[in-house]
């Protein structure tokens, strides 16, 4: 994607090793957030999403909420942003 972007990965203490792999990348665009313990009344995925949104703050024009298990096409972000701009 040619535009400005950053990736916020919420480490929800899953056993798949995603956070450990991400920490080895060393990119300024990647922020690994250590997730807080599961809050009462929340499910794991939605709690992680909530923390990611909070970490993003008010600055982003768009948020792409995804999961480590999802394989994106190389042009998915470009395509989604183009569609959002075109559809206002």
> Are the C-beta atoms of residues 32 and 74 closer than 8 Å to each other?
no
What does the pLDDT look like over 6-30, one tens digit per residue? Answer: 999 999 888 888 899 999 998 999 9
Nearest to 59 by CA among 11, 4, 22: 4
Q: What is the pLDDT of residue 31?
A: 95
The domain limits of the chain are 7-86
- pTM, whole model, 2 decimals? 0.85
What does the pLDDT look like over 45-58, one tens digit per residue? Answer: 999 999 999 999 99
What is the C-alpha to C-alpha distance for residues 53 and 43, in angstroms, rounded to an integer? Answer: 16
pLDDT above 90: residue 37: yes
What does the pLDDT look like over 70-83, one tens digit per residue? Answer: 999 999 999 999 99
How much is the average pLDDT of 56-66? 92
């Amino acid at each position: 994607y040619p535009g400005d972007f950053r990736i916020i990965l919420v480490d929800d203490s899953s056993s798949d090793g995603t956070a450990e792999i991400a920490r080895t990348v060393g990119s300024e665009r990647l922020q690994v957030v250590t997730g807080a313990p599961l809050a009462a009344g929340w499910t794991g995925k939605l709690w992680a999403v909530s923390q990611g949104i909070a970490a993003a703050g008010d600055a982003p024009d768009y948020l792409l909420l995804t999961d480590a298990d999802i394989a994106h096409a190389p042009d998915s972000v470009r395509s989604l942003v183009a569609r959002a701009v075109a559809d206002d």
